[in-house]
Amino acid sequence: MLTRGKALKVSIYLSEGSTHKGVSTYASVLDYLFFRGCSGATVLKGVAGFGADHHMHSANVVEMSDRLPMKIEFIETPEKVERLLPKLEEMVGSGMIEVQETTIAKPAQVSKQPKQEPAREHVKIEGRALMMRIFFGESDRWRDQPLHEALVRAMRANDLAGATVYRGILGYGAHRRVHRESALRLSRDASMMISVIDTEAKLREFLPVVDQMVEEGLVVLSDVDVIKYSHRAAHESE
């Protein structure tokens, strides 16, 4: 790891399309620096420029040139740079390498690893419960928003255990109209169903909200046996 004091900054100039042993030169150089323990490196891509051939290269919307200039920069100790240079010169080929003396005023620090959260206790529900299923049309709305989204938000606000929205691909309702989805025509009034399971007390308490929001549809309640329902309890601060 670099420390405060004297160091060398190395800049490598090459073209985007150059390769080394069948691989992009900049990618090969970056891999070499990484696996040689270099403290860090940055690849920069130019949008216009020219090199030793004195040909102007630029990128535009119509044509993306593969000859655009690229620059790789890294900072290391003089001793390590001296060891890396011979291989870099071989890899860069017709590119240019520049070395400058520099001073590290403040070395980079490794990011602190986030503290591992303590294991959360599991909340479990088992035994008798109630399932509510609500059937309606995809085009149904409540206060200018899709009804299914409004219902899910209402269920979440009322602390129901969870809800799932299903979109039917074929079906009909009270008006006896068949709603189907096909590759050529997507129905905007497909059958929708929301299923939610919770205790009987909580679902019956929520029924007036459903009655207010669902103007036309079907609501059914079924007794169910919950074999296992568990999740990690959220932190109090969340």
Tens digit of each residue's pLDDT (9 = 90 or more) over 63-98 = 445 567 889 999 999 999 999 999 999 999 989 999
The two counts, helices (H) then strands (E), for the chain are 4, 16
Tens digit of each residue's pLDDT (9 = 90 or more) over 35-45 = 888 989 999 98
Q: Which of 47, 75, 104 delimits the end of a domain?
A: 104
Residue 119 has pLDDT above 60, yes or no: no
Please identify which residue in the block is written with the tokens 């609501």. Answer: 219
Residue 181 has pLDDT above 60, yes or no: no
Tens digit of each residue's pLDDT (9 = 90 or more) over 154-164 = 998 888 888 99
Domain total in the chain: 2
- In this prediction, what percent of the chain has a pLDDT beyond 90? 42
Q: Residue 56: its pLDDT value, please?
A: 58
* DSSP, res 25: H
For residues 16 and 119, the model is more confident at 16
Q: Which of 77, 104, 131 delimits the end of a domain?
A: 104
Closest to 91 (Cα-Cα) out of 37, 32, 177: 32
Tens digit of each residue's pLDDT (9 = 90 or more) over 96-107 = 999 999 999 988
Residues 27 and 81 in one domain: yes
Q: Whole-angstrom Cα distance, residue 168 to residue 136?
A: 10
Domain contains 109: no
Kindly report the CATH number assigned to the domain that includes residue 149: 3.30.70.120
Residues 97 and 41 in one domain: yes
Q: Which of 104, 135, 152 delimits the end of a domain?
A: 104
Domain contains 110: no
Domain contains 188: yes
Residue 123 has pLDDT above 60, yes or no: no
Domain contains 89: yes
**CB contact at 8 A, 95 and 18:** yes
Domain contains 217: yes
pLDDT range class, residue 112, cuts 50, 70, 90: low
Q: Residue 60: its pLDDT value, please?
A: 52
Residues 53 and 135 in one domain: no
Closest to 19 (Cα-Cα) out of 9, 29, 11, 10: 29
Q: Whole-angstrom Cα distance, residue 217 to residue 88?
A: 72
Q: Residue 120: its pLDDT value, please?
A: 52
Q: What angle do CA 139, 183, 193 make, to 5 degrees?
A: 35
For residues 194 and 58, the model is more confident at 194
* Least confident window among 56-60, 105-109, 189-193, 194-198: 56-60
3-state secondary structure of 132: strand
Domain contains 140: yes
Q: Which range marks the domain in which residue 152 is found?
A: 122-232
